[in-house]
Amino acid sequence: MSWIGGLGFLDIGFNGFAFGPRGSAAPALALVLGGRNVFDTTLQANGETYTIPLKPPSDPVVAAKRFQQISNGSSHCLAIADNGTLWSWGNNAFGQLGDGTTTARAAPVQVGFDDDWLCVCAARAASFAIKLDGSLWSWGRAISGILGDGSSQDRSSPAKVGSDSWRTISADSHVLAIRFDGTLWSWGDNTGGKCGLGSSSGEVPTPQQVSADTDWGCVSAGWSHSLAIRSGRLFAWGNDSSGHGFLGLGDGGLYTTPQQVGSDTTWRTCTTATEHSHGLKLGGTLFSWGRQISGRLGNGRTVEGSVLSPVEVTPSGVAFVDVLAGSEHGMALDSAGRLWVWGNNGNNGIDGINDVAVPTVAIDGGVAALPTGRYATLVAALQEAA
């Protein structure tokens, strides 16, 4: 195996994913989890323990697949191959793999036979996907209205949600999604007002419009709060009664409708996890805010604290193109294809021993894209096993 900067990355036997035209060359898929090379791994999240079996697929058809996009849930993964087919693997207790069963899969299995899937989003135990025609599909655990069709019954196969056309989606215990007309919608668990609908409790079983604005461009659903960007302006809402500052509004508190973070109009993308958030501005500058512990903000500090507003943490001379907030870590991709990581020692992918307080290069070039999801970390890297 190749080791770069102390990071071990595992080629698990099938080609990886990259964002780009179908049929284009895709890199090797690598698993980066706690700085270890693993096949079977146990994750603990939200008080539950999950086992993810990760073994090289023996099926030569599966092994030949090239994935264009991937999303990590708390214990399962979804991927779209370069021919538009949908694949899944991992825990399947609630049917979240979508293959019509509740059997865990140690290698990718194809979900149905359609070849017109555009994007995927894996939540904790639910799954979502959008087709080329803009139709939205959901399956898995039907809790707190998260499947979006009013159902309270788990399902093990994709089912269409309404008849509208959707552009992008982000999900945790609640869902944020943008339609093709630029409007923002939400549904699922509304504890703490994270759906942004003006109330702070209950569940939302079907998509509800968050605002009348039609220029929403980016969304990120976290554990107890939400972030979204509208025409370069960053908005936040949800419950920060702990006062950690992950809303970025300069205080703690509970907000049930979108509140603008500062006055800047140059925000490009945003990402949120449990108690911290990250964002990129035009020019590739990286910002962090929220609970400061174990280096997860990348601001040079590992001691407990709170950062109530966005602070820049961009290394000198670096321009980032994407960023992902993990459960206790962060990672970003720069314009040179390098992967930078920071945060908790069990999540940052450096050595599994020391917290990393500032963005640090983990893979020195050849990284194609970041995934979505904040539990495990799958990275597309061009480096091949030595």
160's tokens = 């269409």
pLDDT at 255: 98
CA distances to 124, 273, 301, 347 from 305, rounded to whole Å, are 28, 17, 9, 20
CA dist 269 and 284 (Å) reads 10
pLDDT at 40: 35
pLDDT at 345: 67
pLDDT at 373: 66
CA dist 145 and 141 (Å) reads 9
User: CATH number of the domain at 3-381, please?
Assistant: 2.130.10.30
Tens-level pLDDT at each residue, the chain (386 residues): 222 222 222 222 222 222 233 333 333 333 333 322 223 333 333 344 434 333 444 454 454 456 778 888 888 889 888 889 999 988 999 999 999 999 999 888 999 999 999 999 999 899 999 999 999 999 999 999 999 999 999 999 999 999 999 999 999 999 999 999 999 999 999 999 999 999 998 999 999 999 999 999 999 999 999 999 999 999 999 999 999 999 999 998 999 999 999 999 999 999 998 899 999 999 999 999 999 999 999 999 989 999 999 999 999 999 999 999 988 889 899 999 888 989 986 555 555 567 899 999 988 887 777 777 655 455 443 333 33
CA dist 288 and 278 (Å) reads 4
Q: At 228, give phi and psi (nearest 5°).
A: -155, 155
User: Domains of the chain: which residue ranges?
Assistant: 3-381
pLDDT at 363: 82
Q: Are 179 and 166 in contact (CB under 8 A)?
A: yes
Element (H, E) at 60: helix 60-63
Specify the DSSP class assigned to residue 191.
G
Q: Are 58 and 64 in contact (CB under 8 A)?
A: no
